[in-house]
Amino acid sequence: MVFGYFRQVLYISLLFTNAIAILNEERFLAKIGWSTRSAQAANAGFGHAPNAYDAFGGEVSIKSKLVNLISATRTLMRIPLIVFNVVIIVYELLLG
Partner 1 sequence: MSGMPYMNSRSPPPLQHPKPTHPAYPPPEPPHTPGASTNSSPYSQAARISQDNEYMRYSSPPVDAAPRSASTAASFAATSGVNPNPYGAPAASGPSQRASVGYPNPHGVQGYGHMGAMGMGGAPTQGQDGFAAWGNMNDATAQMGVQFGKSAVAAGQDYVEKNFTRYLPAQLIKTSFQVTNSYVLRKLRLILFPWRHKPWARQIRRADSGGMEGWQPPRDDINAPDLYIPTMALVTYTLLCGLSSGLQSRFHPEVLGASFFRAMVVVIVEFCFIKLGCYLLDVRGGGASGVELIGYGGYKFVGIITTIIAGFLKLGTLATTGIFGYTFAANFFFLLRSLKYVLLPDPATTGAPTLSHAQRSRRIQFLFVLAASQLLWMGWLSRV
Residues making contact with partner 1 (CB under 8 A): 3-6, 9, 57-60, 62, 65-66, 69
Task: CB nearer to partner 1: give 5 or 26.
Answer: 5
**Whole-number minimum distance, CB 74 to partner 1, in Å?**
17
| Crossing angle of the two packed helices 62-76 and 5-21, in degrees rounded to 10 | 100
Task: CB nearer to partner 1: give 5 or 93.
Answer: 5
**Whole-number minimum distance, CB 93 to partner 1, in Å?**
26
Task: CB nearer to partner 1: give 16 or 91.
Answer: 16
Cα separation, 78 vs 21, in Å, equals: 7
Cα separation, 84 vs 14, in Å, equals: 8
What is the helix (H) or strand (E) element at residue 31, kind and residue range? none
3-state secondary structure of 35: coil
**Whole-number minimum distance, CB 72 to partner 1, in Å?**
11
